[in-house]
Structure 1
């Protein structure tokens, strides 16, 4: 009865409002502006398909938010364009300048091109201009300087050129100038120093080529100046006035071509991060008394500094990151270096990097600091300390080029709290700190969750930091999960509130964490409370007939609607059910040899799914071995957990994709079962288990590993080039490569795979698929993790990690160490072969090194630096032919490249005794699992 009363009351209130409203209408000028904009847009996904007619507000056009009716004519105005991540192309229409009431213009993370219209200077009510993550070109219109109410300009990650207009002095309300990663040139305008509210100047990664104006120091509210990677004038220096910006928290001018000496920064009373690295600064390091006491990070590396390290630098109690590498600093390292409170702390990673100088000696207390805390100390390249040839037995003398403790190419996955609701819907947020006020994050993760939950008005239990990764900038990329409280899902109003809080920057700025940006906002399932995604507009309710009969009908309809919604599956599940029905109706999705099994058939094959037949288990469900057709065919059966929506998605994906592909290095789909509420996939049984199993517990010779690598590579190459359409696997890893009894490798598990892009109507093929990031930590392409752009090179990166596992025997991530990072560090130190698995260390060094270099090239940070899969196959074949004479007998070098992977590399009979000190605790015993589900 209580539920009935609430619904009935809602209906009465709604109809009361209907009774008192008269018809409202969108301002015709606004309607025409949006119509003009629509004509200039490209909308390949049909995201704006309801932009039809002449009534944007009444018809609730996608992404259009309007004001309440105003004046005697009940006119509504467009106040917000919310087109974040709609996959839109095309250009801005100049008519958008006629949206006189527009406050928020958000087209972040689309593919729009063209220039910013000068007519935007008429948007006098604009508060946020959010254009980042597109392909805009042209110059910044000087007319934008008339927007005195504008709070934030974000044009970062575009291709905008030209100077920053001096007319921006008119942006008297501006707080955030985020213009990084463009092609801006000229000088930084001195007029910025007149802006009373300016807090962030982020203009890094541009082509600024003038001087640094002293007048910038006059801005009274500045918190961050970030100018890294520009090309300032050849004799540009740091203005002495900048040393007196008392509000400044971060000053970063890395790689700007600056000369002169380090100025006195004693007036920067709140400064926490100072980065002047990769310039041509000369002279001595100022005495530490000239530095602010709050400094946590000092980076003067790659300059021409001389003299000694001031002894008083050890008095900086908050300092946790000090790098002076690649200068000509000499003398004795001060005995109190590292005695500050932050360095002595047991938690959090710290760095003292003094590599490649002329230092003479250091105290034993500094060496003890490295062994007793998480502080990394680096002295490589100081001949008086490490010797002219580098004493690599001393861990302090091993060269290391990692700029941060957490390298750019690895992802740190956080532990998931055990008390989280496993069946609840959640929101996944892509989030990035653009200019953090720290250099290491592991001591701040709990503080960050507290800060974010407070800003979102959520409890700490509702905010989960899933993972994070340092990126060049440095910027800190994060994945955050938001969970509902006391329910299984967010209602629509809460969903909208959280999105608005992020997208309108209502989370207060933090001195520690600095400015942030929103990269994605994805619900696991859509909110299911029946609410609309937009506010009820006047036009939507204007046509309802007034009267008592209508009132009764509306109340009744609302009740029935709500009851219906309570019983209805979620939209995501409905989509899956429709997909299944489509498969059933379309026989083309089935191919010869793929059988639709009944539940009874598979139950009999597995002895009623007995524990004795179970050979694996993972997030999807359990895996069983079974015998079909009276024991004549052995298969592996992957059975989904009941009610697993993610498993259902993988179920359909795998059937669709595996029905398209046929290759000897891809696992064969025998059939599937969709019967009695069960979803099962039936594969050929691979008796050799997974590659990961063998690397963990079974010695394999080098020719066998090379044969497995080549077979796997050929399977992936087929997916990329011969499948129609091509396929990106998206989850290449050692546990998804299966082996038969002769160790022929077959790639398996296509649950996360995506079809490659196909040519559009003009014959142009996109270079990537935009998709939510999924995969396995340690194998994931860092560029895909950052941009959500999946390419064939994403699979290449993952396969490169598999190659590293093959050559080293190590896991992708083991005890917090990333195999890519470890291999890179050893290569820099000239110790590449020290990573080789001892079981194959007796093979020719040239062959092992060629294999490892190929693996490392596959794991390059930038996709364009990685080989294609066809090049990987070619290089593996070349290794086999080139070193055939050096490998054991039975290894054929004359086999043509078109031959099978079995013929190319014939393994010898191989027996390897374990070393006396080998850890044999992981040796295989009994049946090897043939599948290791995620």
Structure 2
């Protein structure tokens, strides 16, 4: 449907109406009061429109079973359905409801299975009363301003399969009684103010697939009890204070595909154990205290697609690359801010064929752009910025048909900009972006396409001219050639760079003027 306009109050005259679904339209304005007095209405779905205004605080819909007001701009307090005795689904996410949460819905309708209050403006403590919804399976409270500790009766919800409270201001320790929620499949407590250690009760979650607790102040070691969650697929503990050794038994986690332990205080001993996580597809360890070297056993991670170990004080870039090139599925590799003042290797690297993203900035690496990169023909993003690289920009980089992000600033590169470089086809041709279907392909897609089309060669010692063919880069958004020794005139066809947002040619010896389209 493609309905527009307001919701007519004449709908209130349909006193026998049982089912009303006008979701996913372009309806606007406020909701008529008459709509909330239909005595026989069982399903009311007004989701995914542009509705606004106040919703009555008390709604008189005694027969209602599904109330879905999601994805609008509705305001007021949380609606109270005082006469409803059988409301399986109560969904008001993505609105502007405010004030405190009312748990009365569980007193009136203890058989409720879904409560979704996410992405509103609720604040204050979570009240006692939700524990009365003994059939509750899905509880979404994320992305509000809720605070304090979790109420005691929340831990009585033994039927709960999903609990999402991320993006609030809950504080204190994660309660050991969390273990009572043994039926959980999905548990998200991220981006709150929880502190202390992760309770050693997670081993009782026989069906847990996703546990996210990033962005808190959790400390201590990774618990061995996590290894008892044999169905675990996604574990995200990024941005905490975890430290010490690793007690995670990867051999007991055959389905673990996603592991993010970035920005903690973990040490090198974690690396050996993680090499047993043979089904890992995405691994983030950046911002830890790893030190040492990537172990030889990492070559066993044949399913690994994404690896980030940036800012981890690693050493021996040559050995690291020799090991990681044997990870045949590796597509995205981030190694920045490691290997301080080492030389980028030119020999012994032969196996990188699949990478779409290679990032090794901020490492003070010396040497020339290595020839083995020529074999990385699928590269879309190459970042070797802020090193001490010398020599020329290899002309064969221009043959990378998929390259759209080239970041080489703050090095000591010399020579002319190769005319081959202005043949990067991805920056010339507008092609439709094909969205992938698989989950990890979606992750790769989102990471790559969050970056702008960019060429940054600034702060080097490049000479020669700005080739007129730069004007063919119709997709280029950023071009920075500043702080070099480039001479000649500014190409007259620069106005053809229709997507250009940032152009910096300063601190060169260029003449002429920029040309713009009329």
Distance 1:84 1:384, change over 3 A: closer
For 1:285 and 1:359, locate their aligned partners in 2 and report how far apart those are by CA, in whole Å: 25
**8 A Cα contact 2:487 2:510, kept in partner:** no
Aligned partner of 1:92 among 48, 67, 78: 78
State whether structure 2 residue 342 is matched by structure 1 residue 342: no
- After superposing the two structures, state which structure 1 stretch, 160-169 or 176-185, moved more: 160-169
- Aligned partner of 1:155 in structure 2 is 141
Q: Is the 8 A contact 1:249 1:273 kept in 2?
A: yes
Partner of 2:458: none
Task: Provide Cα deviations, 1:46-69, integer angstroms capped at 9, x if missing partner.
Answer: 4421535843436997749xxxxx
Task: Compute the displacement of 1:841 (Å).
Answer: 9.1
Residue 380 of structure 2 corresponds to: none
Cα 1:279/1:438, change in 2 over 3 Å: farther
Distance in 2 (CA, whole Å) between partners of 1:887 and 1:398 is 21
1:374 maps to which of 355, 359, 362? 355
Any gaps of 5 or more consecutive residues in structure 2? 1-13, 19-26, 48-60, 369-385, 395-405, 411-429, 454-469, 493-500
Q: Please tell me whether Structure 1 or Structure 2 has the larger radius of gyration of its CA atoms.
A: 1
- Relative to structure 1, the CA distance from residue 180 to residue 360 in structure 2 (aligned partners, 3 Å threshold; closer, same or farther) is same
Q: Spell out the pairing of 1:861-876 with structure 2 (5 A cutoff).
A: none
2:168 pairs, out of 147, 165, 182, with 182
Residue 236 of structure 2 is aligned with which of 252, 255, 263? 252
Alignment of 1:104 with 2:92, yes or no, is: no
Contact map agreement 1:257 1:279 (CA 8 A) in 2: yes
Q: Aligned equivalents of 1:48 and 1:414: distance in 2?
A: 39
Q: Quick one: structure 1 residues 437 and 251, their matched pair in 2 at CA, closer, same or farther if it must change by over 3 Å?
A: farther
CA contact under 8 A between 2:62 and 2:84: conserved in structure 1? Answer: no
**Structure-2 change in CA distance of 1:841 and 1:158 (3 Å):** farther
Q: Provide closer, same or farther for how the CA distance between residues 201 and 195 of structure 1 changes in structure 2, counting only shifts above 3 A.
A: same
8 A Cα contact 1:284 1:307, kept in partner? no
C-alpha distance after superposition, 1:503-535 (max 9, x if no partner): xxxxxxxxxxxxxxxxxxxxxxxxxxxxxxxxx
RMSD, matched Cα: 4.6
Q: Distance in 2 between matches of 1:856 and 1:226?
A: 37
Closer, same or farther in 2 for the Cα pair 1:839/1:247, shift >3 Å? farther
Match of 1:171 in 2: 157
Greater share of residues in helix: 1
Contact 1:285 1:308 in 2 (8 A): no
2:5 maps to none
Tell me the distance in 2 between the aligned counterparts of 1:109 and 1:364: 53
* 2:140–2:164 Cα contact (<8 Å) kept: yes
Secondary structure of 2:307's aligned partner = strand
**1:795-806 correspondence runs (5 A):** none
Do 1:254 and 1:275's aligned partners in 2 also have CA atoms closer than 8 Å? yes
Corresponding residue number in structure 1 for 2:57: none
- Spell out, residue by residue over 1:138-160, the C-alpha distance to the aligned partner (whole angstroms, 9 max, x if none): 22223212322112111222211
State the partner residue of 2:389: 391
Distance 1:58 1:110, change over 3 A: closer
Q: How many residues align?
A: 405
Residue correspondence of structure 1 range 255-334 to structure 2 within 5 A: 255-266=239-250, 267-287=252-272, 290-331=275-316, 333-334=319-320
Instruction: Classify the secondary structure of the residue corresponding to 2:310.
Output: coil
The question of 1:353 aligning with 2:328 is answered: no
Higher strand share: 2
Listed one character per residue, the Cα deviations across residues 713-734 of structure 1 (whole Å, up to 9, x for unaligned) are xxxxxxxxxxxxxxxxxxxxxx
- Structure 2: distance between partners of 1:46 and 1:139: 31
Q: Is residue 350–residue 440 contact of structure 1 (8 Å, CA) maintained in 2? A: no
What TM-score do the two structures reach when normalised by structure 2?
Answer: 0.65
Which whole-Å CA distance do the structure 1 matches of 2:210 and 2:143 have between them?
Answer: 19
Which has the bigger relative contact order, CA under 8 A and spacing at least 6? 1
Determine the C-alpha separation between the residues in 2 that align with 1:367 and 1:440: 27
Q: Work out the CA distance in 2 between the residues paired with 1:119 and 1:294.
A: 45
Q: 1:369 to 1:53 in 2, by over 3 A?
A: closer
Match in the other structure for 2:444: 441
